Structure 1
Amino acid sequence: MHTGDRSQLDEAGYLRITGRVKDIFKTSKGKYVAPAPIEGKIAKTHWVEQVCLMGSNLDQPLALVELSPAARQQPRELLGQSLAEHLHAVNQRLEAHERVSHFYLVSEAWTVDNGSMTPTMKIRRNVLEMRYAEVIAGLPGEQVIVWED
């Protein structure tokens, strides 16, 4: 049966859906990354409204992050520190080629109206890749939390 879903069998023999085949990307190091499980880990904080992992032809994946309304009310310095700690914690549970290099905090919400989401509220990864291509290429190496101003 071909559904377009990527899956794996766990130790107990249960089938677990890990993402969509078309969403998987290959880093510049030749490693394949399934973004959905990593996005799920990143989204497990009340500071994150939505997240989209990018990494096609990059050394390491990075995450575009739309902040939650609660996060937008926080002082930037404290929020940045909290997000950096969260990124570090997430990365400790990932394989080396899956580790996220940056959180790029977007200023505009992703909506159907601006083309970032489908009518069924799924992120349009290809649209975001094109929209943020120049930014992604020029991200500073030493700064892990980067704000779009």
Structure 2
Amino acid sequence: MASGMTNLVEVLKARRASMEKMRQLLEEERQSILALDTERLREAVARKVEVAAAMEELDGTCRTLLAREGAAHGLSGTVTLSPLIACTPKPAREELANLQETLAARAEELRGMIADNRRLLESSLATVGRSLAFFQSRFTVAETYGGTGRMVERSAGSGLLRKEL
């Protein structure tokens, strides 16, 4: 395997490893959300940001290597892995095809985990919002009409009665 192709395979393997790390962090994030452990959630999110930055750097390196290898194989324009695999010799072709399949499956898994975690967080935030609204309504003193028709402040523990004529 040519040196450029070897570098590409190594970068793709590093990308696979970073995606596995992200999968672990997303699972940890999910467990933190379910356990309502905000400190652990904060730590997981901070590590997730670091891994995402490393993944972004690997993506840039991968694009550069793809362009270089594509040009070496006579491919023009923006080169993706599929056309490069098609014009690569057999041993490297199989390894690249396996990596491509693994990366695509892992990317789909990560998208699903991210969507699930987002739904969990949105649900948790909605529950917190409803709870805050409930308690705020109980502790806020509101003005209402008293028995004589004058405005009076409602005291804590009192309720509003609906009287119809």
| TM-score where L is the length of structure 1 | 0.27
**TM-score normalised according to structure 2 size:** 0.25
Give the number of the structure whose alpha-carbon radius of gyration is greater: 2
Greater helix content: 2
- Give 1 or 2: higher strand fraction: 1
